[in-house]
Amino acid sequence: MKRAVGWFVLLPLGLVLVVFALANRQAVSIGIDPIAPENPFIQPLGMPVFVLVYVTLIAGVLIGGIAVWFSQGRHRSAERKLRQEAEAARAEASQLRREKRAGEALALLEDAESR
């Protein structure tokens, strides 16, 4: 299934990105001073359009991933707590099984002695 997703989704998407990069090689001026665009404090950067789009996409993916990671922190801590509780319950059940077996063995020995 993963291989099919790779071939039918990711490969065409990659081809579209390559074609986009080849078609948009012209340089554009990127300025970040909206107050005084004619005399900016920071000089505008010149870069190809595809670089701007790719950097924006990568930044969006990284910021989104970080936001999701932080928002899921409480779920990860709850899962960690539940795992610890499950492990404690398993250990307790194992201990009770051992005690029951030992009690049954003692009962059999006492029953055999009383005969």
Written as tens digits, the pLDDT of the chain (115 aa) is 778 877 888 888 889 888 988 888 888 888 887 777 777 777 888 888 888 888 998 999 999 999 999 999 999 999 999 999 999 999 999 998 888 887 776 666 666 666 6
Q: What is the pLDDT of residue 21?
A: 84
Helix (H, G, I), strand (E, B) or coil at 107: helix
Nearest to residue 31, comparing CAs of 45, 52, 51?
Answer: 45
- Reported pTM: 0.59
Contact status, residue 65 vs residue 43, Cβ threshold 8 Å? no
Q: What is the pLDDT of residue 115?
A: 60
